[in-house]
Homo-oligomer: A and B are copies of this chain.
Amino acid sequence: MPDTSSASSVGLVTPDTAHFDTPLELACGRTLPSWELVYETYGELNAEHSNAVLVCHALSGHHHAAGYHHVDDRKPGWWDAHIGPGKAIDTRRFFVIVINNLGGCHGSTGPASVNPATGRLWGPEFPLMTVPDWVNSQAMLADRLGIERFAAVVGGSLGGMQVLQWALSYPDRIANAVVIAATPKLSAQNIAFNEVARQAIRSDPEFHDGWYAEHGVVPRHGLRLARMVGHITYLSEHAMGTKFGRDLRTDSPSFGYDVEFEVESYLRYQGDTFSTRFDANTYLLMTKALDYFDPAGAHGNDLVAAMAPVRCPFLVVSFTSDWRFAPARSWELVDALLHAGKAVSYVNIDSPHGHDAFLLPNPRYEAALGGFMQRVAHDAEVSSTASGDSR
């Protein structure tokens, strides 16, 4: 049983659901007539509503970022290392919101939800979501919660792209932006890995063109392969070498195809568990949202021009051994923000853990993120007091 009463844990948490009957117009030209967002919150919203922090999740993430759902949970939420009392995103000072993105498979409306127009599951007919679509839906939840302006929007990887989009779509509603282990657009190699993952899923005979649920099956092999490929890109070559080396699981080679090297065992395990808990249509949709993200695209590939709407200061964080979204991808964003005359702090954190580093504890990372967030909290509290004075 986890220590849910630990002073640095948000403890037991329960998700909330917000239902929207306001149609959401999407970048693809389609409209979601009604939809739901599942989300969690940690900490207390202050009287002035000035201390809200939105945390955006990555490819396979969800709304459960901190604390525990049950006393017998083996693991806390995915970003528990950084969200909690006294942590970098300090829930004694911030009201933290984490939303399962639309199209997800953890409770928000997605491919596994019922399409009200047909009475059938959405399945592959669920519209492709883009990062701007997610940001719009998140803004509508903020309206619902009475949050006019976030003290900060924070996210890693695909979450970092949502943060950047917030600063572009809603410059008046975001006071600070924290973009971690992200990129202003995918490289051809990034897209290539996503395409392999998609082809793995789509060529699985159990995929049934996305109607697998109606056939009572799951494209497990495809999801498993997709996750295996993903995992290779999440870890640095060095981290994989340190973690597994070329260790055989038996004393001598089997000269067969059973699992043999430790790294094979790890990948198969990761793939197997993922294939039982993640929805294939959601995986496809999330990778496509990654591929499409390209704020400079509408500005003749001029990222400096694309940054014009930004009004808030940025913290940009990269990790030395991340080769999925390497430090140079963060430099592109930092350079563009600087050239556009925006305020940006940047830190490249020394870590051997590759892209996964953004999820893991790391003293320098916590110091950088925590230091920035302390200033954010201070500003939010000053603004709260100043606003209080003027009443």
Contact = CB atoms under 8 A, between A and B. Distances in A.
Max chain B Cβ within 10 angstroms of own Cβ: one of A231, A255, A271, A297: A255
A266 B73 CA distance: 45
A253 interface: yes
A306 B146 CA distance: 69
A223 B294 CA distance: 32
A189 B241 contact: yes
Copies of this protein chain in the complex: 2
A195 B246 contact: no
Interface in A284-343: 284, 288, 291-292, 294, 297
Interface stretch (A44-52, A55-63, A157-165, A200-208): A200-208
Contacts of A29: 255
A228 interface: yes
A255 B128 contact: yes
A263 interface: yes
Chain A: interface size category = 35 or more
Interface of A: 27-29, 127-128, 185-189, 191-193, 195-196, 198-200, 202-203, 205, 221, 224-225, 228-229, 231-232, 235, 237, 240-241, 243-246, 253, 255-257, 260-264, 267-268, 271, 284, 288, 291-292, 294, 297
- The 9 A-B pairs with the shortest beta carbon distances in the complex, nearest first, are A28-B255, A203-B221, A188-B240, A189-B237, A128-B255, A188-B263, A188-B244, A195-B264, A196-B228
